[in-house]
Amino acid sequence: MPFFITAFSFPATLVFACLLGVLLTRLFLPGLMGMIVEAGFVRPNFRGEVIPLGVGLVFSLAAVACIVLLYPFLPGQLQFFALAFCLALAAFTCLGLVDDVWGSRATSGLKGHLKSLLQGRLTTGALKALAGGALSLFLAVVAGPLVWVPVNALTLALSVNAINLLDLRPGRAGKGFLLGSFLLFVAGWGQWPLIFLAVLTGSVVAYLAVDLKARAMMGDTGANALGAALGLTAVWVLPDGVKLAYLGLLLVLHVVAEKYSLTSLIARSPLLDRLDRWGSDRK
């Protein structure tokens, strides 16, 4: 087995992957933000300041660069997981970027986009649902076994959309991802595919300060990538019973989000509201 795996313990490898994600994100972030601003791809934040949108592209850039560096030192099966992880990040990031660039707020919510599609009008949200659903199904089939394909596909697709649902206030999506990552590390401890999630965790930690201070928006570009990382990792590392429970929570979240405003629900809970505002400039 390659030196990289045998020379370090599992916890040390996770820490190394996380730190590499931090380093690469800090390396890429200033240039990426400058490039986006120069291209004029900006939106006003809650203070009315114009800031770059789609900065979440840095997650995929940092993660893929990190995996390229680690790839020669991974055993064969982990190399397969690495390629699948890169595919998921690249494809879902692309779909999110399409929504950020060409998306319209005239139609919102999964139900609204599907209704528009049935009326013969393709929205970026519907495109994201169709293409994302197909990709989730493909990755579920590859992950196997066949009997778990529906569960795995739903887990991945709903994880992607769950982070999108959170991405309405500075820092909220990043905090949601970090919480989800922590729970996956606990539930799947000892499973080597967690090293790829560790890379994304480090990347989010390095990025989060600019998001909390409302100096950049990750957009669907970033939220899709983070959701894909959570969903794919859950498919790979969770025990069957825990995976079903995780999928159940995702279904509940989506049902609630279709009927109520998550922002309003969070504001009604002092604890959730405090956590939601922690580290940000929002009063």
Residue 56 contacts residue 177 (beta carbons within 8 Å) = no
User: Cα separation of 10 and 199, whole Å?
Assistant: 14
Structure tokens at 41: 């791809």
- Region of 190 on the Ramachandran plot (φ > 0 left; ψ -120 to 50 alpha; else beta): left
Residue type, 56: G
Give, as one character, the DSSP assignment of residue 164: H
- Sequence-distant (6+) residues with CB within 8 A of 57 are 32, 93, 97, 221, 222
Structure tokens at 181: 């990552």
- Could you tell me which of 243, 146, 139 has the C-alpha nearest to residue 191? 243
Query: What is the rounded radius of gyration, in angstroms, for the C-alpha atoms of the chain?
Result: 18
Tally of CB atoms within 10 A around 260: 10
Tally of CB atoms within 10 A around 201: 25
Helix 57-70 × helix 194-212 angle, to 10°: 150
User: Cα separation of 30 and 44, whole Å?
Assistant: 19
164 known member of a binding site: yes
What stretch of H or E contains 51?
Answer: strand 50-52
Tally of CB atoms within 10 A around 114: 16
- Residue numbers in the known binding site for Mg(2+) are 164, 220
- Residue numbers in the known binding site are 164, 220
